[in-house]
A and B are shown apart, each in its own frame.
Chain A
Amino acid sequence: MDTQTLIYIFVGLSFALYIGIAIWSRAGSTKEFYVAGGGVNPVVNGMATAADWMSAASFISMAGLIAFLGYDASVYLMGWTGGYVLLALLLAPYLRKFGQFTVPDFIGTRYYSKTARVVAVICLIFISFTYIAGQMRGVGIVFSRFLDVQIFWGVIIGMGIVFVYAVLGGMKGITYTQVAQYCVLIFAYMVPAFFLSFMITGNPIPQIGLGSTVNDGSGLYVLQKLNLVLSDLGFGEYTDGSKSMIDVFCITLALMVGTAGLPHVIVRFFTVPKASDARKSAGWALVFIALLYTTAPAVGAFARINFIDTVNETEYSQAPEWFKNWERNDLIAFQDKNGDGVMQYRSGDAFAGAPEFGEGTGASGERVVTNAPVADSENEVYVDRDIMVLANPEIGNLPGWVIALVAAGGLAAALSTAAGLLLVISSSVSHDLLKSTFKPDISEKGELMAARIAATAAIVVAGYLGIYPPGWVAQVVAFAFGLAAASLFPAIFMGIFSKSMNKEGAIAGMVSGLAFTFSYIFYFKLMNPEANVAENWLFGISPEGIGVVGMVLNFAIAIAVSKMTASPPVEIKKLVDSIRVPRGAGEAHAH
């Protein structure tokens, strides 16, 4: 059977599985729609959380980032796992004990204020939408490369699938499809990793392979060889970073705290039966996540070695099939600057910007690139980092079914995260804005209908952003973390650990943290991108890491304001006392 047929079969089967699960687990009440009825086993929830968490960025982009950034990419590895320690230790069990449906629920009740609730909803919607547009784009890329479907139709099909299980099934449908999606995506990630590790080092376990010697007879360790090869080609060493220490520190911290403040992650812990289950569940989630996150550095390093081996100093006419496939998709380009027909891969940009392809082909048959060449670099190869994981099975000459598996895995990762995000957006509209703020007399049935309509509207907006991504989407997706770190995390944390934090303090803190972080990012990424260099940054912290300063600002302002205003009423102090002890955690319910 040829690879293309296998891809259709694998993707088709996985979609049929998700829809089957969705029909089996339709939601009948708001409680099922918001928190899957509140009776999800902690291990199952851990697995669903892992799928919810690991997005198209984790599955498709992360190993590619590691391959090209080396040590600098550690910020993602530590940042996107360390947040689970914060969740398990500082937030999840208490929020579960509190026992309601959404993150704004907690903030609105703990700070006895509709304003606080609405501010939280605004933070949540902003964070979730920047994040979801990237997922839909990921769906589009996988479809266009592997299924020969235009990005437009790829996104439409993806929207259709998510519609079926998110709108019908709510949190209940999402939870069980996410479990299936985790299985698909982790299998799809690990199989090529085992193959590659075995090929390059003779040891199939990638985590050990990365610390072993290359089996090419040189006796060098993988990382040593990579350092040598890269320095020869003019790159920095793989195990050395180029970012400043303070920037690495701040980005890592912003990602960790941001992870713990992401509403679609937090809300998963509302679905387990007890407060102690929330702790356990966060632990399981991290185990399932770590499986992929400890494999990714190995995949990245192996991919870089393979890429250099097969591309550098190879004649274009002899280039492997995958090189030409991705060239057709605009994600690889070769500009034969010295006219020798051989691809020289060196450090630096081959030409300015993303490739613009002209008509016809060059002397060796390559697609003509019309960008102005960069004269002071000998590099002739442009490669989009995002292709590394998707191209890996082809680069490593793995069988067709592995390629098909990776296509299904990439889709599973993007769809599971998109569904989780859609759910928090829709529940914040139907539950926090309608039921709790503007239309308290809405019936249970009406609320459920509103949740479904909101989810549908959110899918349409997300799909639109996926098909016609405005320039800012790619620029700001990574900043959802900084915004979450600067706005939601401090408010939740102080709501649990301080009895004297009041509504004035919390609102002032959230607003100033969000406003500061947003303006800093907006200025450097959108208004004045040329100024985005280390000399202009505050304390040398890049926009990626500035959420840390926003968080400190949030804490400082909240504490100062709360000292100057009335302390919270006595019922609120009782509420805090009650969420601190696990006994008596009822099921999640509306107030």
Chain B
Amino acid sequence: MADENDTHQTSEAEGAYWRDNIRLLVSLMAIWFACSFGAGILFRDFLDQFMLGGYPLGFWFAQQGSIYIFIALIVFYVVRMKALERKYDLDD
């Protein structure tokens, strides 16, 4: 079994780290949902009346924008988690 530590007990730092992680996850997943399912699908017809260059905006979100935002989400998460892990002294 992986790295079993016999004295293992959820420490306060671990609990706080996990709560912060969940909070971060919830907000990032909300953006993930909003840019793809929201802007690219549910509100596409509304957004298509605006143009981004030659792209109708909803179409742009569906075929370009959401992909760029996905990358930004992961980059942000990597950076924030590194900081959280340093803060609680849990980094690997």
Contacts and interface: CB of A to CB of B under 8 A. Distances in A.
Interface of A: 66, 71, 73-74, 77-78, 81-82, 84-85, 88-90, 97-100, 109, 207-208, 210-213, 221-224, 239, 245, 248-249, 252-253, 256, 274-276, 279-280, 282-283, 286-287, 290, 293-294, 297, 571, 574-575, 577-586, 591
A81 B73 CA distance: 12
A252 B41 CA distance: 9
A-B pairs, 7 with minimum CB distance? A221-B54, A211-B53, A74-B62, A283-B74, A582-B92, A297-B63, A211-B54
A361 B44 CA distance: 48
A580 B71 CA distance: 23
Contacts of B60: 211
A358 B44 CA distance: 46
B87 interface: no
Contacts of B64: 207, 210, 294, 297
5 contacts: A223-B56, A276-B85, A283-B75, A287-B71, A293-B67
B47 to A, nearest CB: 12
B71 A82 contact: no
Contacts of B3: 99, 578, 584-586
Contacts, number: 159
Contacts of A256: 36
* Interface of chain A, main secondary structure: helix
Contact of B42 (A249, A280, A578, A582): A249
Contacts of B48: 239
A193 B49 CA distance: 28
Contacts of B73: 85, 89
Contact of B59 (A223, A253, A294, A574): A223
A84 B8 CA distance: 32
Nearest to A284: B74
B71 A290 contact: yes
B84 to A, nearest CB: 10
Contact of A71 (B18, B37, B62, B74): B62
Contact of A581 (B52, B55, B71, B90): B90
A77 B2 contact: no
A212 B81 contact: no
Given A212-B54, A294-B64, A579 B71 contact: no
